[in-house]
């Protein structure tokens, strides 16, 4: 018989090793029944058999030549368990209560786990079991054998009928449920959580610092306090998924210099364009800027309804190639456009977004329309709440024409509709997760779109698709009724074709959100009135020297710059921060096994399973390291006396640093490399960064660059992608 230490260690590590104690004892006669048939033939096991049928576990017995031992509770045993609250039923994967009836048991979402408490891999005849022996069950619980001269107990259950041999193992009938609490001693029959288990668990999280007595204390506390408490909290706040409710009060504040930005806020003074003429063709019209379209609307050369029809038709024409639209909002768009036109006819002008169509990343709630989060699990989800960003755009007269693709649960560019493609080269994805907003803006299918970023989701698709994308400072834009990954890093921002358009959209959507405790009313410098000749900009070693020269031509002082900090890995801090937060927001999703249906099994499912083993202590240590990083980065900027700096926007370390610190960055296209034999192009980009709340500065610098270049005016060859691409015949 294995020792207690060895068996418990095996119980924690792997069931396949622990099960080898059961020799392959089974019925070998030609008329043998399998476990499923034996269970079904015994009236006293009708409830247990119904549960097996409900979960389809009975179909797994005997697979691949394996044998199993089943300790099946009788109907009477289950009734007693219901009466004495010995069995816990979980409903909706969160609500844990004592099972009260057979119906309660059969409808529980932990039914499979309950049944696995009664199944052991291997064949164990009662006469071969020894007193004190431990058995590892398929649920990872461990039960101890107790034997007297006449009786055999497994945990708190007595064996009533023993050794019913089957072709795929054997079955015993018992008088109690396994994994139960003995009402006389209040001791759990499952002994898997013990000192050895704690030793293994603490080693996994790099905290193997307790002696054996301390490990026993920990095991007892885990069972009597920790598990009870975390289950109660989980039931209270952790569902539904997505982090839409119950925000975390531990707020991240990037504003170490916030006093500079505490003056009363004022709106930007954007230029008014007059004498803009409608182009002769709709292709040129579709690529006009927000200010140009606004001028045409004010001069009655076009209507908002005209624009809705134009852009909706463009979306539909190419979406079978781009895979960028989740939901068309045509009815809503025509209603909003008609209202916008009516106001203009009455002499009421709401501002530069009045009558301008746009798209929203499909993590942003709009009443009456699906908000799918890009995942098949949520593809029929309707959140009948107005996100604040949608409210602000609606109040400004903007017209929503589509919900645009996001990578599933805001990861990359794969969603339940496929992979969103890059308009500059459809043989590659647009990256993500603001995949649809970037692709549609690049293709001239919307004048602008709203995306989000936690760790690169505006920066990467903007870079890949050759558009201008702004990731604002953290807290600049409210996020109520927007799916959350990490409450201390999530940001909403505009994806446009020019920096001026980004400034206009940001000015509309920024400001305090009553439901988003991290949002702020920040006094920003007006980018349209910043004198860039008075700015000093650092350039990193990976900066594009063409951008350096272009900014210098606008009398910007350009100096070499090094981004110095002592934190060894910003990437690890970001991963810990983001992954723990994501798992808290999608705890139910994982526990319910919905991650098995996720679109890319190498992405969130793998990431979040590993995240289960990040301790709360290590999460807090990561936040302390994050604070140190933020202070050092801002001190570096201040010490070198620069107003902003430029570098490669897609460098992963800079993406991590920028999001951890809460810095704004605007991504601008700075060139296009040819792909031989095609009109496809590889986009070249630059990121302009600044300290938190210096959004006006990065916008002003981007506008200055775009005033002397035309990369942002280039159009992707969606209609002629390359040899053999007869996509539009």
Catalytic residue positions, numbered = 361, 433, 457
According to DSSP H, which parts of 534-615 are helical?
545-552, 570-585, 587-591, 604-611
Backbone angles phi, psi at 480, to 5 degrees: -65, 140
Please say whether the beta carbons of 585 and 378 come within 8 A: no
Token pair belonging to 214 = 């301390």
Please say whether the beta carbons of 537 and 644 come within 8 A: yes
Specify the pairing of strand 152-154 against strand 157-166: antiparallel
What one-character-per-residue DSSP string does 459-506 give?
Answer: HHHHHHHT-EEEEPPTTSB--TTB--S-TTT-EEEEEESSHHHHHHHH
Report the C-alpha gap between 565 and 511 in whole angstroms. 31
Question: How far from each other are the two terminal CA atoms of the chain, in whole angstroms?
Answer: 75
Report the C-alpha gap between 291 and 270 in whole angstroms. 9
Interacting residues of 726 by C-beta distance below 8 A, sequence separation 6+: none
Handedness of CA 298, 304, 310, 316 (dihedral sign): positive
Q: Three-state SS across 306-360?
A: HHHHHHHHHHHHHHHHHCCEEEECHHHHHHHHHHHHHHHHCCCCCCCCCCCEEEE
Handedness of CA 188, 191, 192, 197 (dihedral sign): positive
Report the C-alpha gap between 503 and 521 in whole angstroms. 16
Please say whether the beta carbons of 681 and 674 come within 8 A: yes
Backbone angles phi, psi at 42, to 5 degrees: -105, 115
Please say whether the beta carbons of 646 and 689 come within 8 A: yes
Token pair belonging to 244 = 């839409």
Backbone angles phi, psi at 174, to 5 degrees: -125, 165
The long-range contacts involving 85-89, CB below 8 angstroms and separated by at least 24 positions, are 86/176, 86/177, 86/180, 86/181, 86/183, 87/114, 87/177, 87/180, 89/114
**Cα 414 to chain centroid, rounded:** 13
Report the C-alpha gap between 504 and 399 in whole angstroms. 15
**Cα 490 to chain centroid, rounded:** 10
Q: Tokens 């989800």 — which residue?
A: 381
Report the C-alpha gap between 171 and 165 in whole angstroms. 7
CB-CB neighbours of 23 under 10 Å: 12
In our burial notation (b when 16+ CB lie closer than 10 A, e otherwise), range 258-284 reads eeebeeeeeebebeebeebebeeebee
Q: Three-state SS across 645-695?
A: EEECCCCHHHHHHHHHHCCCEEEEEEEEEECCCCCCEEEEEEEEECCCCCH
């Amino acid at each position: 018989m294995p020792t207690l230490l060895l068996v418990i260690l095996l119980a924690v590590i792997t069931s396949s090793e622990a099960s080898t104690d059961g020799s392959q004892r089974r019925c070998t006669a030609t008329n043998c029944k399998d476990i499923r048939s034996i269970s079904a033939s015994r009236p006293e096991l009708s409830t247990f058999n119904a549960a097996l049928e409900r979960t389809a576990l009975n179909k797994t017995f005997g697979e691949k030549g394996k044998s199993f031992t089943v300790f099946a509770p009788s109907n009477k045993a289950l009734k007693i368990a219901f009466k004495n609250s010995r069995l816990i039923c979980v409903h909706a994967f969160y609500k844990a209560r004592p099972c009260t009836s057979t119906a309660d048991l059969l409808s529980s979402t932990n039914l499979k786990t309950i049944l696995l408490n009664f199944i052991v891999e291997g064949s164990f005849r009662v006469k071969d079991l020894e007193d004190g022996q431990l058995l590892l069950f398929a649920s990872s619980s461990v039960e101890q054998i107790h034997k007297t001269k006449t009786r055999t107990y497994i945990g708190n259950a007595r064996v009533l009928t023993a050794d019913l041999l089957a072709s795929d193992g054997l079955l015993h009938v018992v008088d109690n449920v396994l994994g139960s609490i003995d009402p006389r001693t209040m001791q759990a029959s499952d002994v898997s959580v013990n000192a050895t288990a704690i030793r293994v668990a603490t080693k996994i999280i790099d905290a193997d610092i307790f002696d054996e007595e301390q490990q026993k204390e920990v095991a007892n506390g885990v069972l009597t306090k920790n598990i009870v408490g975390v289950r109660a909290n989980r039931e209270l706040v952790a569902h539904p998924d997505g982090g839409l409710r119950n925000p975390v009060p531990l707020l991240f504040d990037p504003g170490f210099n916030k006093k500079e930005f505490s003056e009363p806020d004022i709106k930007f003074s954007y230029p008014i364009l007059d004498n803009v003429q409608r182009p002769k063709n709709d292709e040129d019209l579709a690529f006009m800027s927000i200010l140009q379209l606004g001028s045409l609307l004010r001069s009655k050369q076009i209507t908002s309804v005209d624009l809705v029809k134009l852009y909706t038709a463009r979306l539909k024409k190419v979406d079978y190639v781009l895979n960028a639209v989740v939901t068309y909002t045509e009815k809503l768009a025509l209603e909003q456009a008609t209202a916008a036109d009516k106001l203009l006819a009455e002499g009421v002008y709401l501002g530069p977004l009045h009558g301008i169509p746009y798209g929203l990343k499909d993590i942003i709630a709009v009443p009456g329309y699906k908000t799918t989060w890009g995942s098949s699990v949520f593809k029929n989800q309707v959140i009948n709440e107005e996100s604040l960003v949608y409210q602000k755009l609606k109040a400004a007269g903007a017209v929503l024409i589509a919900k645009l693709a996001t990578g599933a649960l805001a990861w990359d560019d794969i969603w339940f509709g496929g992979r969103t493609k890059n308009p500059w080269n459809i043989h590659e994805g647009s990256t993500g997760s603001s995949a649809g907003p970037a692709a549609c803006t690049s293709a001239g299918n919307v004048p602008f779109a709203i995306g989000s970023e936690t760790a690169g989701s505006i920066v990467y698709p903007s870079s890949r698709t050759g558009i201008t994308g702004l990731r604002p400072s953290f807290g600049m834009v409210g996020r109520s009724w927007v799916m959350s990954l990490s409450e201390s890093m999530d940001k909403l921002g505009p994806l446009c074709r020019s920096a001026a358009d980004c400034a206009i959209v940001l000015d509309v959507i920024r400001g305090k959100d009553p439901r988003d405790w991290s949002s702020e009313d920040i006094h920003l410098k007006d980018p349209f009135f910043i004198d860039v000749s008075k700015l000093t900009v650092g350039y990193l070693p990976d900066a594009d020297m063409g951008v350096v020269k272009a900014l210098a031509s606008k009398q910007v002082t350009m100096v070499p710059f090094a981004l110095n900090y002592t934190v060894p890995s910003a990437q690890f801090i970001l991963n810990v921060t983001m992954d723990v937060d994501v798992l808290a927001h999608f705890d139910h999703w994982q526990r319910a096994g919905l991650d098995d249906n996720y679109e890319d099994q190498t992405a969130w499912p793998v990431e979040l399973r590993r995240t289960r083993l990040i301790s709360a202590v290590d999460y807090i240590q990561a936040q302390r390291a994050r604070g140190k990083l933020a202070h050092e980065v801002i001190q570096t900027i201040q010490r070198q006396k620069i107003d902003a700096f430029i570098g490669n926007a897609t460098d992963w370390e800079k993406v991590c640093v920028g999001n951890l610190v809460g810095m704004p960055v605007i991504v601008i296209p700075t060139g296009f490399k040819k792909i031989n034999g095609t009109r496809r192009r590889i986009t070249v980009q630059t990121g302009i960064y600044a300290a938190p709340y210096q959004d006006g500065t990065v916008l002003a610098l981007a506008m200055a660059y775009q005033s002397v270049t035309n990369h942002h005016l280039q159009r992707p060859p969606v209609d002629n992608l390359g040899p053999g691409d007869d996509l539009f015949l």
